A and B are shown apart, each in its own frame.
Chain A
Amino acid sequence: MDFKPKIIGFLCNWCSYAGADLAGVSRIQYPPNIRIIRLMCSGRVEPYFIFEALKSGIDGVIIMGCHPGECHYMTGNYEAEMKYQLLKSLLTYVDLDNRISLEWVSASEGIRFAEVVTNFTNSIQKLGPSPLKKIDKDSELLFNLNALQIAANDYRLRALIGRKRKILDEGNVYNKKYPKEKFEDLQETAIYDEYQKNRIILYLKKENLSVKDLSERLSIAPNKILEYIVDLRGEGLIDLKDIQELTPYYTAKQEA
């Protein structure tokens, strides 16, 4: 009962921060758990910020921006939304996705701002303290979160996210609008693959492992692991270490 969630709010300067101010001017009360970090635009929110926050034991992160079409910088909030969706998908793998939220709040929505904060705080209260609060360095959760964080930085994912709006709304290189569901399937697969690949790398950083070892640790069929291994070798991220009897062992490349 004594749990007092710590929540970070990333707010854009122009609408949502102004909405928060209006809540103040109107004296609308809400729980005192949120710590607001003002940014010029919600588009500034780098997925890493959220990983950093979660890793430092923050219980919830909420991003707020201008309503669609109202971003002071025209499209920043669309960028934010794309990145948020990526984050959300990534965090489902470690069950932390319900600790982040994205909301649009305008400068005249003081009441709504308070409601949004109250609801989010309550939902985090219900979830209880973040599992990352007290955690040792070797925990699996942290391990997986690190893998996700690296995945968030993958070019393929960023490119997909970065171009998503163009591909879906404005037309791709063939001047066609790509179907949304198909795109999202593709995106989900890409996210999953990236996540698993980064887990593989992280395991291989600790010790040399075979396809079968990895299959056990990741609970993924060996043939699939092999596909990843082929990819990762192609990308020059892992190397063949040695072969024992009939089984090849792999290692992660040391960073330059």
Chain B
Amino acid sequence: MEKIGAVLTIGGGIAGIQSALDLAESGFKVYLIEKTTGIGGVMAQLDKTFPTNDCSMCILSPKLVEAGRHQNIELLINAKILKVEGRAGNFKVKILKKALFINSEKCTGCGVCAEKCPVNSIDFYNEKLSRGKATFVKYPQSVPLVFSINQDNCIGCGVCEGVCKANAVEYSQKDEEVELNVGAVILAPGFDEFDPAPLKVYGYGKYRNVVSSIEFERILSASGPYSGMVLRPSDGDIPEKVAFLQCIGSRDIHHSKPYCSSVCCMYTAKEAVIAKEHQKQVNPTIFSMDIRAYGKDFDKYIIRAQDEYGIRYIRSRISLIEENPKTNNLILKYEAEDGSLITEEYNMVVLSVGLNPPDDAIELSKTFGFELNEFNFCKTSTFEPSKTSKPGIFVCGAFAAPKDIPESVIQASASAAHANILLHSARNSLVTKKEYPTEIDVAGKPPRIGIFVCHCGINIGGVVDVPGVVDYAETLENVEYAERNLYTCSADTQIKIVETIKEHNLNRVIVASCTPRTHEPLFQETIREAGLNPYLFEMSNIRDQCSWVHMHEPVAATEKSKDLVRMAVSKANKIEPLQRTILDMNHNVLVIGGGISGLTASVGFAEQGFMTYLVEKTAELGGFAKNIHASIEGSNVKEFLSNLIEKANNNENLKIFLEAEIDTIEGYVGNFKTKLKSKGNKENKNNTFEHGIIIVATGGEEYKPTEYLYSKDPRVVTQIDFEKMLFESEINKKVNKIVMIQCIGSRNDKNPYCSRVCCAEAIKNSIKLKDLHPEKEIIVLYRDIRTYGLKEQYYREARSKGVIFIRFDEKLPPELIKEEENLIIHVDSPNIGKLDLDLDLLVLSVGIHPPYESNEILAPMLKIPLNDDKFFLEAHVKLRPVDFATEGIFVCGLAHSPRSIDESIMQANAAVSRASTYLSKDEIETEGIVATVDISKCSGCGLCIETCAYNAITMDEEKMVVIINSALCKGCGACSSSCRGSAIDLLGFTNEEIYLVINEVK
């Protein structure tokens, strides 16, 4: 059967976007289907993201623009799947594209239609908190930026057709069916928020001041209904006391939502922190059962929320909310931990709603023929967490199980890796490389500038005197041609621009219209078609930053437009063609670390035909997982691991070096050279090889406890020792009372992070014990039980099987007392008070550590950073969770942070996909905007080397001048502005160009 080099991605949220970008960059055609009218998903609605408080839109919008403009990605919005046929490698998918009633080819996104629309409808983006129009765009930065008419609200007045200067309104537009042929499908439909209205006890929908967390997110957003002020909906007052109620629609068997939604603890903390930041009068209180801050740097965030922002945590679940009808305040009744009943009044209540499977989950599963699990999330398995039950159909994001943004991004790349592996033979078969005419040589020729000034319908022309600007432009230096267009960005104007360039021999082009952030690439492409280097282009933003913001000052706005055009002309007179650097890409891969992550990644590369060198420092493959017998879901880890090792051993593209370490490593993306050194194994001596990619999968280690008489008394063991007894030998008959203590070596001053897997380990082992010996007594002493996501069901199972859980406070840890030969644990629990437990076996749930020494050696060698806890630090916590700032190096598994086996496998696959975006190419092209150094001026002081965040600058020790590797340079210009001798300049934004522009502001 012929394999098709195209992939269908369903869902335009962050997961869908990431998988689409990965695959499009790896040589596949991607159809990205979105059911609403714009991509971006829930992330586009968020104000900030935890744990870094990054502005969500800032980090998302470059990805939106990239997906919207990518050559190999076709966006199908307002669309729905009708029918699927075929098998893995070759599917036929029928799709319904619902009418938008506005022609998206013609629509320029100017928004006049929505402005003039007389109907006030509901704005879903702002969670119904503000009013929108019948003609609408999903949100201001939406991709694609096309408007559509919501026929449910439209009264058919015809106003929009009248005002649309682009003639894009088509009331008669019909739904359309299209058929696609793809090799694989990626499901990323995301989640729906739990709707709290049916839970009458919270009064959601009845009491105005009870809002859901996603509504609160919009309230917090600077672009939200209240412009970022924290106000309560009933009267617009600032709420002083705000209560956040967690686990609404999560961990709740009564409403058939027994799972944990994984993200609410963190987003609630974030919302509370941001609320406090935006409005210092607000005092948030969070009601929660456990605080599940299990991810990288999450616990630190919670500690800061409490200590720095004074956010109050109360461990309780609210059973009822009542409203004080006079004040619209809300009365909360709850049981404190000590059992006392408390009544408190709040000004506002935020319900932290859980994540539900998407509405169309069942329909999707039927259409595609894959299975759902009992909660209607997509069914997956421990060892294949991103595969559905049907071959060729992969899954990512919250549809596989509730998860946060970085985990969704990781899984998005992981699912893309599966598509890569399945379809690698069809790679590059369906993507077209756009051919451009050969570039006209402009070197030495005097500038001939052409200027196109846009009316943007009435958006610019209604305020700015556009003809006046054109007249003025004609008077400027070297301007050969100036004209105005109704819409400079429309398809017909592009043709016109190309013709004009040719006719008037133009060699520099300026467009005065909207923002270069979205439109520069379009015009650059246009001038390329006319044979000009794309960098011979300048833009003046006379709409977003002029006509729209000075609407009532037409004279000043016209003046400003002229100034902006003059500034652009002065720069255009100086700009030169820039060349993108082309680098060879070596297709071999170095994987450091032979645990589950390293093995999974290696096999993923080898199966795509890439030569892979796997380097393991011990004498045996398998890493940390060697000690694990089963996963909490009951999957057989031992068997999986030995199969994986066999697969690795038998793949001819995979070369394994045991007892080997990296001696030296040099080079950069596409061109690395590594020399190994060996401890025992002679074979590895002087082994040197070249490769284009590095995967860091160096794993983690078990904490060796010093507390609780470990290694002094044989009755004190770790969870791994205990697991061995359970699975390999037998529990001594005399051992009847077992106590486990959680968080040993985690969440303390020395290791402030949560080791993430220990709760599940403890629960897995206690269930196993109860299954084998129901009569034995087991007590788990814990601080928070962090069985996030679908693991929550095992926590419930453990309790139902008689495992007893007792909470202790960080400040009052359990004490072990040895009385003669008896061991006694003394606990002081906030809910049950003081207890003395005698025991026969004490099991310590010890945490995971990074391998401190080897990480400290490897990090500087690869020029990649470690975080405070000495795990490797990725390029961006949210959106680049497996990349490093240094290109061509990726991280996965415990090297990144503590994680479970399925999560490590996911991340290893993610690393495969990220690396495949490079490996699929024979050469890599870099941006033209890079720094250059004039070595005659360079004094070799080296200040720039320290400023560069990308390790792109090195010192030529012989000549004592710096060298900039343009392959690594990202073009920020920080080096150039730190250079005291003006030896470094940034192409595209040179000092000279900027001085000229400055001097034009007169």
Contact = CB atoms under 8 A, between A and B. Distances in A.
Interface of A: 6, 8, 13-15, 17-18, 20-32, 35-41, 43-49, 52-53, 56-58, 66-67, 69-70, 72-76, 79, 83, 106-112, 114, 153-155, 158-159, 161-163, 166
A6 B559 CA distance: 12
A66 B974 contact: no
B943 A162 contact: yes
Interface string B527-543: 00000000000000101
7 contacts: A21-B517, A25-B111, A30-B549, A32-B557, A43-B977, A44-B989, A66-B58
Given A70-B54, A108-B58, A32 B550 contact: yes
B998 A36 contact: no
A108 B222 contact: yes
A30 B556 CA distance: 12
B517 A26 contact: no
Interface string B377-406: 000000000000000000000000000000
Given A56-B998, A108-B47, A155-B980, A18 B549 contact: no
B998 A21 contact: no
Given A29-B550, A41-B972, A44-B976, 10 more contacts: A18-B57, A24-B545, A25-B140, A32-B550, A37-B997, A39-B973, A43-B977, A49-B994, A53-B998, A79-B947
B998 A49 contact: yes
Contacts of A52: 995, 998-999
B206 interface: no
Contacts of B980: 153-155, 158
Nearest to B140: A25
A37 B885 contact: no
Contact of B55 (A15, A21, A58, A111): A15
Given A21-B544, A24-B545, A74-B885, A41 B974 contact: yes
Contacts of A114: 549
Contacts, number: 198
Contacts of A22: 140-141, 223
Given A158-B980, A163-B946, A110 B998 contact: no
Contacts of B541: 21, 36, 38
Contacts of B789: none
A107 B949 contact: no
Given A73-B949, A158-B943, A111 B222 contact: yes
B920 interface: no
B497 to A, nearest CB: 21
Interface stretch (B322-330, B437-445, B560-568, B746-754): B560-568
A111 to B, nearest CB: 5
B550 A108 contact: no
Contact of B560 (A32, A39, A76, A109): A32
A122 B982 CA distance: 34
Given A32-B560, A67-B55, A158-B978, A106 B222 contact: yes
Interface string B106-126: 000001000000000000000
A107 B57 contact: yes
Contacts of B989: 39-40, 44
A18 to B, nearest CB: 6
Interface residues of B, number: 67
A8 B980 CA distance: 23
A43 B972 contact: yes
Interface in B277-304: none
Q: Which 3 A-B pairs have the closest CB atoms?
A: A24-B544, A44-B973, A43-B974
B973 A106 contact: no
Contacts of B563: 35
B313 interface: no
Contact of A108 (B52, B223, B548, B949): B223
A6 B1001 contact: yes
Nearest to B46: A108
Given A18-B61, A35-B1001, A158-B943, A108 B972 contact: no
Nearest to A28: B549
Given A35-B567, A75-B949, A25 B544 contact: yes
B567, B941, B973, B974 pick with most chain A CB within 10 angstroms: B974
A74 B948 CA distance: 10
B53 interface: yes
Given A29-B552, A74-B885, A106-B58, A37 B994 contact: yes
Nearest to B995: A52
A6, A32, A45, A161 pick with most chain B CB within 10 angstroms: A32
B107 to A, nearest CB: 15
Contact of A162 (B61, B62, B947): B947
Nearest to B974: A43
Nearest to A71: B972
Contact of B974 (A14, A25, A44): A44
B549 to A, nearest CB: 5
A162 to B, nearest CB: 5
Contacts of B943: 158-159, 162
